[in-house]
């Protein structure tokens, strides 16, 4: 019993330490998930001496944590974003994973003395991007990039784990049974289609069941998140038990449930945010505890070289090949390649060779761990500077806004919002609250009063309003401060603005020939943008029409496009080699470097002769 309390005390202390360390990470811009891993390493066998070597338990805990993270990732992905980037993202999560694994495997074969099958196994382990790392950086890290690029990264990171898991499990089984190349037959292809097909189908069914239960069964507000979590894990475990991909199923179920209107959504979202944080902390801490840094020096050099090859060659090349058929610019392709962060998923998969009793099981784990550390350090620390350098960060539409969504019982036809009045907000400058919003309560200096008796609103007032569903974004403008205007905002939104009702045929006559068909010529600019983007345009969305680029500058109160920018300097699709693999640029850089060195030597020699 004393041992139980000791284990509980240590586990709780580690979680608290990781939670408090997040304050340091936010302050100094450190990759938070890397910090969790480091805490696990420092408290493990080679650090403070906490002994943890239960690979089976680590894999089970990591799988459950990953399922929770994937469900929350899907729940937070809008259906519009998924439609916008589904095809390129799924190409990256299948073909891209396979290409990355193959390229990485060939170099691993050379550096580690592996066979091709063993190299492919290591490549499959590190081939997928980590959903926890990507979603954290894009959603919580304050990186506001173009919707098309963000959607591609989020959907890819949520859907490529099943492919990597399938390849890793298949290769571990082939190597452990000694089948080798003879195992690569139609049976493996059939198994892949079966797992992914069942994962997709059962994910949709599971998502529909989750929505049905939450809508039709009256449950206490505090129980709604528990029902959601239990049903999500039921979808994950049942799909895996019947031979499907549980990770794909739970992600798809999250997307379906998140796209529907369900009761107690605000409390569910808050619960899942906290639970996802806990899942990430537990997963990274456990995997950090499992590692033994004293074993790293033996394979440090080849592992570092493999990590650099993955970051600068394998991932960029695979992304470039996969996105060639799609309308991505060179900068967008380069950024997608750079955000290929490896994380807990790769370390989790690296446990499988050990559980499969492969001869070099620990070697796979140690190499994958070092590769993940390199990825988190190089890429995790530079995502925002790279996005800014490539011009992909969207200028803010609004300044600071402090809003809280409150739950109403049942399926209410109104939403209850609470805003804190911030400095420089329009409501302080005399703008009136719209008729469709019913302010009911104001809290000022700790005292509550009815809105009618509060008088003119003041800074830091807390205002509670009832509004019709779907209108909250309109109130954000009223209670937000002014958005800071950067020097490059005008450049981002084009050379000049046009009306969204402008006819496309008029643009074609002025700036054509544009890449449009006969039906599109008869549309307005707003209609064309909405059609090209799958139904609706969002702030800062872009549509290329050959010689020009149309940019959504603003939306009106009903969510329709209100202003469109025109850029006369469109960026061509990424038909050249990836940014990190442009041989011509590398050759020119090498030539200039050699010329510089030759000139320096000549000057030095001339100086010696003069002396």
| 24 falls within a domain | no
> What CATH number should be reported for the domain holding residue 335?
1.20.1530.20
| 320 falls within a domain | yes
Kindly state whether residues 214 and 188 are assigned to the same domain: yes
Q: How far is CA 209 from CA 206, 214, 256, in A?
A: 5, 9, 10
Kindly state whether residues 147 and 189 are assigned to the same domain: yes
| 23 falls within a domain | no
pLDDT for the residue numbered 218: 75
Over the chain (611 residues), the average pLDDT of each successive run of 10 is 68 74 58 78 82 88 91 83 83 93 94 91 92 69 74 86 90 81 65 89 94 82 86 95 92 91 81 86 87 91 94 92 87 88 88 91 93 88 82 71 66 73 83 81 88 85 81 76 63 77 84 79 86 75 80 76 78 62 52 61 62 57
Domain that holds residue 541: 489-567
> What CATH number should be reported for the domain holding residue 503?
3.30.465.10
DSSP-based three-state secondary structure for 52 = coil
| 13 falls within a domain | no
Kindly state whether residues 115 and 168 are assigned to the same domain: yes
**Residues pairing with 555 in the sheet:** 561
**CA atoms within a 13 Å half-sphere pointing along the CA-CB vector of 280:** 29
List of residues 6+ apart from 413 with CB closer than 8 A:
468, 469
| 17 falls within a domain | no
Q: Of 389, 414, 434, which marks where a domain is finished?
A: 389
CA distance 382 to 571: 24
- Cβ atoms of residues 339 and 583 within 8 Å: no
Q: Of 426, 458, 479, which marks where a domain is finished?
A: 479
Kindly state whether residues 139 and 282 are assigned to the same domain: yes
Kindly state whether residues 157 and 215 are assigned to the same domain: yes
Q: How far is CA 300 from CA 112, 115, 532, in A?
A: 11, 20, 48
**Structural tokens at position 267:** 């409390």
Classify each residue of 499-538 as buried b or exposed e, where b means 16 or more C-beta atoms within 10 Å of its C-beta: ebebbbbebbeeebebebeeebbebbbbbbbbebbeebbb
pLDDT for the residue numbered 529: 84
pLDDT tens digits, residue range 72-96?
Answer: 888 987 777 777 788 899 999 999 9
pLDDT for the residue numbered 432: 81
| 406 falls within a domain | yes
| 235 falls within a domain | yes
Kindly state whether residues 112 and 204 are assigned to the same domain: yes
> Where do we find the tokens 């509980």?
8
Q: Of 479, 502, 525, which marks where a domain is finished?
A: 479
Kindly state whether residues 138 and 277 are assigned to the same domain: yes
pLDDT for the residue numbered 371: 94
Which pTM does this prediction carry?
0.78
Q: Beta strand pairing status for 438-444 and 402-406?
A: unpaired
Average pLDDT, rounded, for the chain: 81
pLDDT for the residue numbered 572: 60
């Amino acid at each position: 019993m004393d041992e139980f309390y000791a284990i509980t005390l240590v586990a709780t202390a580690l979680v608290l330490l990781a939670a408090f360390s997040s304050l340091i990470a936010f302050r100094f811009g450190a990759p938070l998930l890397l910090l969790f891993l480091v805490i696990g390493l420092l408290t493990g066998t080679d650090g403070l001496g906490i002994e943890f070597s239960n690979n089976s338990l680590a894999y089970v805990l990591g799988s459950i944590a990953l399922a929770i993270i994937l469900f929350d990732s899907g729940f937070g992905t809008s259906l519009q974003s998924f439609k916008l980037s589904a095809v390129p993202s799924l190409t990256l999560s299948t073909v891209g994973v396979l290409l990355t694994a193959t390229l990485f495997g060939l170099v691993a074969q050379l550096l580690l003395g592996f066979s091709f099958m063993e190299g492919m196994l290591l490549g499959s382990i590190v081939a997928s991007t980590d959903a926890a790392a990507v979603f954290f950086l894009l959603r919580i890290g304050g990186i506001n990039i173009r919707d098309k690029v963000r959607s591609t990264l989020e959907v890819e990171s949520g859907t490529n784990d099943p492919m990597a898991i399938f390849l890793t499990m298949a290769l571990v089984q082939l190597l452990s049974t000694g089948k080798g190349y003879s195992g690569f037959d139609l049976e493996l292809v059939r198994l892949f289609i079966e797992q992914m097909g069942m994962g997709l189908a059962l994910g949709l069914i599971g998502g529909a069941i989750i929505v049905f239960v939450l809508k039709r069964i009256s449950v206490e507000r505090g129980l709604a998140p528990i029902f959601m979590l239990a049903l999500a894990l039921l979808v994950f475990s049942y799909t895996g038990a019947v031979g499907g991909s549980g990770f794909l199923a739970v992600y798809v179920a999250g997307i379906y449930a998140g796209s529907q209107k369900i009761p107690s959504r605000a409390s569910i979202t808050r619960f899942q945010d906290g639970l996802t944080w806990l899942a990430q902390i537990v997963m990274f801490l456990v995997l950090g505890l499992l590692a033994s840094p004293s074993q790293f020096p033996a394979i440090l050099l080849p592992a570092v070289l493999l990590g650099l090859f993955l970051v600068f060659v394998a991932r960029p090349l695979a992304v470039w090949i996969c996105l060639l058929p799609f309308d991505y610019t060179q900068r967008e392709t380069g950024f997608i390649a750079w955000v290929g962060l490896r994380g807990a998923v790769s370390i989790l998969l690296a446990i499988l060779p050990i559980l499969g009793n492969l001869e070099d099981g620990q070697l796979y784990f140690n190499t994958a761990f070092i590769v993940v550390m390199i990825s988190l350090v190089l890429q995790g620390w530079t995502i925002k500077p790279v996005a800014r350098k490539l011009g992909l960060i969207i200028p803010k539409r609004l300044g600071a806004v402090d809003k809280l969504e409150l739950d109403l019982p049942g399926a209410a036809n109104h939403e209850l919002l609470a805003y804190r009045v911030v400095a420089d907000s329009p409501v302080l400058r005399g703008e009136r609250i719209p008729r469709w919003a019913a302010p009911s309560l104001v809290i000022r200096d700790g005292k509550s009063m009815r809105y009618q008796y509060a008088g003119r609103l003041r800074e830091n007032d807390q205002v509670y309003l009832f509004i019709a569903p779907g209108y909250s974004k309109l109130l954000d403008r009223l209670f937000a401060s002014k958005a800071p205007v950067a020097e490059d905002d005008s450049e981002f939104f084009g050379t000049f603005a046009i009306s969204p009702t402008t006819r496309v045929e008029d643009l074609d006559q002025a700036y054509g020939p544009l890449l449009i068909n006969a039906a599109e010529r008869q549309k307005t600019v707003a209609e064309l943008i909405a059609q090209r983007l799958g139904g609706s345009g969002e702030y800062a969305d872009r549509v290329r029409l050959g010689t020009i680029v149309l940019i959504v500058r603003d939306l009106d109160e009903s969510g329709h496009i209100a202003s469109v920018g025109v850029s006369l300097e469109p960026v061509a699709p990424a038909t050249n080699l990836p940014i990190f693999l442009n041989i011509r640029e590398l050759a020119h850089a090498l030539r200039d470097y050699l010329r510089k060195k030759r000139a320096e030597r000549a000057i030095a020699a001339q100086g010696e002769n003069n002396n």
